[in-house]
C-alpha cells in the first residue's frame, strides 16, 4: 500500500446542511434561474447529478444562471418561485402529489422541465432486467412491488418533461425514445471542488514520497452497496486465484458487500472497511495500488458511468475495469488503466500487480491518467456543457445531444 499520504480529510459539512434561504438567494441572484429537484439528499446520485452541477454553475462568475437544489420537504415552500424560473431539473424523482403541484405550476408558466437519470431505471418494461442486474430476490413479492412502483413513478416524471439529461451515450439512447423530439443531452459525472482539492493533495503526497509503498500490493474494490455483488462476482474468481498464487497480494473491500464464497478462504488477506464519507473514500482509494471496477455484460450495466475510474485516477491509483462503453471511452487501455473483458481478468490483474511493483513505470502511467482526469472531470470543467444542455435559449438541435 502507499504510505505517508498526509493528514486525514477535514470533517465534511453535509452538502444538504445549506439553509433553504441561502439556496433561494443563490437561485435568484442572476437573470436566468434553474432549480434542481431531488427527493432526499444523499452521497451518491444527489452529489454527482445535483450538488456538483449547482456548485459548478454558481462558482462560475461569468455565468448568467443562478442555480439551487431543493428536496421533497421543500417543494411546497418554493412553489411560489416557479413562475420566476427558466427550468426545473427533476433528478430521479418518483412522481408524487407535491411534485405534481410543482409540475402543474411549471407548465402554467412555460418553465422548461428536464428529467435527469444516471441509471436505466425509468422504463417499467425493464423491471425484470434491473432486478436481475442488482440481484433482487425474484421470489420476494415485495421486490416486484418496489421496482414496478419506483420505475413507473420515474417514468411518470419523465413523461412530464420536455427533454432529458444523462451521463453517457448508451443511457441517452435508451432515454431519447421517451421524448417526442428525442431531446436528451449528456452531462458527464465529474469531481466536486472538495473532492478534487483533496485528491490533488493525495496525489502530491505520493509524488513527495517518491511513490513510497510498503507491504503487500493491495487490490481495492469500492462497492458502495450490496447491489454490486453480481458485478464483483465477475472479477472475484480471478482475484481468488491471484490471492492463492501470490501471498504478497491482498484485497480491500469498502462498502456494503459480502465477500463472495470463492474468497472466504482468504480471510487473512482480505480487509473489509465500513461505508465512509466521500473524502475518506478518496484516501482509501489512494492507499491501494490497484482499483477494480468489474461490471456484468448487460445493457443495464452498459449504461453505468465511469466515476469508479476517474475517482481512482485522480489520486494516482491504477484501475482495471470491465470493458463497458463508459470505461472503454474513458481509459486508454494499457496507458491510463486497463480495460478487461470477462476472460481477461487474470491477465489484467497479473499485469497490474507487476506494474505496482515497478515504481517508475507505475508512477509514470498514474501521472498521465491523473492529468487527463483533471482535464476531463475537473469540478469547473463542465459549466458550458451544463449550460448548453439546459438549452434555456432554445438553440439546441432536435436531438438535444451534447457530448
Residues of the chain with CATH 3.40.50.2000: 193-377
Q: How confident is the model at residue 260 (pLDDT cuts 50, 70, 90)?
A: low
pLDDT digits (tens, 9 = 90+) for 26-78: 999 999 999 999 999 988 899 999 999 999 999 999 999 999 999 999 999 99
pLDDT digits (tens, 9 = 90+) for 267-297: 899 998 988 889 999 999 999 999 999 999 8
- Whether residue 81 contacts residue 27, with contact meaning beta carbons closer than 8 Å, is answered with yes
Helices (H), 269-335: 278-287, 307-313, 325-330
| pLDDT at res. 403 | 35
First to last CA, the chain: 37
| pLDDT at res. 395 | 59
Give the percent of the chain with pLDDT over 70: 95
CB atoms within 10 A of CB 100: 14
135 Rama class: left (phi>0) / alpha (psi -120 to 50) / beta: left
Q: Is the pLDDT of residue 183 over 80?
A: yes
Q: How confident is the model at residue 92 (pLDDT cuts 50, 70, 90)?
A: very high
- pTM for this structure? 0.93
Among 3.40.1000, 3.40.190, 3.40.50, 1.10.1760, what is the CATH number of 15-188+382-390? 3.40.50
More confident call, 338 vs 136: 338
Q: What is the CATH code for 193-377? A: 3.40.50.2000
Q: Which three cell numbers stand for residue 128?
A: 425484470
Mean pLDDT computed over 5-13: 84
CA pair distance 144, 277, nearest whole angstrom: 31
Ranges 4-8, 83-87, 297-301, 355-359: which has the least confidence = 297-301
Ranges 100-104, 132-136, 154-158, 371-375: which has the least confidence = 132-136
Query: 296: which DSSP letter?
Result: -
- Whether residue 234 contacts residue 294, with contact meaning beta carbons closer than 8 Å, is answered with yes
Give the percent of the chain with pLDDT over 90: 82
User: Residue 92, CB half-sphere, CA atoms under 13 Å: how many?
Assistant: 18
Q: How confident is the model at residue 15 (pLDDT cuts 50, 70, 90)?
A: confident
Q: Is the pLDDT of residue 375 over 80?
A: yes
Q: Is the pLDDT of residue 400 over 70?
A: no
Torsion of CA 280, 225, 71, 148, to 10 degrees: 170
Amino acid at each position: 500500500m502507499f504510505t505517508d499520504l498526509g493528514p486525514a480529510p477535514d470533517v465534511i459539512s453535509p452538502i444538504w446542511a445549506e439553509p433553504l434561504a441561502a439556496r433561494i438567494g443563490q437561485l435568484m441572484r442572476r437573470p436566468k434561474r434553474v432549480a434542481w429537484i431531488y427527493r432526499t439528499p444523499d452521497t451518491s446520485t444527489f452529489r454527482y447529478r445535483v450538488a456538483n452541477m449547482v456548485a459548478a454553475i454558481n462558482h462560475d462568475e461569468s455565468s448568467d444562471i443562478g442555480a439551487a437544489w431543493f428536496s421533497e420537504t421543500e417543494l411546497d415552500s418554493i412553489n411560489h418561485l416557479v413562475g420566476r424560473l427558466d427550468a426545473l431539473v427533476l433528478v430521479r424523482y418518483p412522481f408524487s402529489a407535491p411534485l405534481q403541484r410543482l409540475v402543474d405550476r411549471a407548465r402554467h408558466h412555460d418553465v422548461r422541465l428536464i428529467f435527469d437519470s444516471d441509471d436505466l431505471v425509468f422504463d417499467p418494461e425493464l423491471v425484470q432486467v434491473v432486478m436481475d442486474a442488482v440481484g433482487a430476490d425474484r421470489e420476494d413479492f415485495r421486490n416486484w412491488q418496489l421496482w414496478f412502483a419506483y420505475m413507473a413513478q420515474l417514468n411518470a416524471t419523465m413523461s412530464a418533461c420536455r427533454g432529458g439529461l444523462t451521463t453517457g451515450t448508451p443511457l441517452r439512447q435508451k432515454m431519447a425514445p421517451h421524448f417526442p423530439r428525442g431531446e436528451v443531452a449528456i452531462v458527464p459525472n465529474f469531481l466536486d471542488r472538495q473532492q478534487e482539492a483533496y485528491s490533488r493533495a493525495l496525489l502530491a503526497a505520493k509524488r513527495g514520497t517518491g511513490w513510497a509503498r510498503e507491504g503487500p500490493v493491495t487490490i481495492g474494490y469500492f462497492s458502495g452497496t450490496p447491489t454490486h455483488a453480481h458485478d464483483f462476482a465477475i472479477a472475484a474468481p480471478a482475484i481468488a486465484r491471484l490471492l492463492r498464487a501470490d501471498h504478497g497480494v491482498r484485497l480491500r473491500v469498502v462498502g456494503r458487500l459480502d465477500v463472495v464464497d470463492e474468497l472466504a478462504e482468504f480471510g487473512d488477506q482480505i480487509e473489509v472497511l465500513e461505508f465512509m464519507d466521500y473524502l475518506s473514500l478518496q484516501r482509501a482509494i489512494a492507499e491501494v495500488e490497484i482499483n477494480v471496477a468489474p461490471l456484468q455484460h448487460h445493457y443495464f450495466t452498459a449504461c453505468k458511468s465511469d466515476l469508479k475510474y476517474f475517482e481512482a485516477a485522480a489520486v494516482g491509483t491504477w484501475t482495471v475495469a470491465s470493458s463497458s462503453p463508459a470505461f472503454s471511452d474513458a481509459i486508454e487501455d494499457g496507458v491510463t488503466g486497463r480495460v478487461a473483458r470477462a476472460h481477461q481478468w487474470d491477465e489484467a490483474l497479473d499485469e497490474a500487480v507487476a506494474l505496482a511493483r515497478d515504481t517508475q513505470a507505475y508512477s509514470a502511467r498514474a501521472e498521465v491518467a491523473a492529468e487527463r482526469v483533471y482535464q476531463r472531470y475537473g469540478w469547473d470543467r463542465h459549466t458550458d456543457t451544463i449550460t448548453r444542455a439546459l438549452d434555456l435559449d432554445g438553440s439546441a438541435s432536435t436531438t438535444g445531444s451534447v457530448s
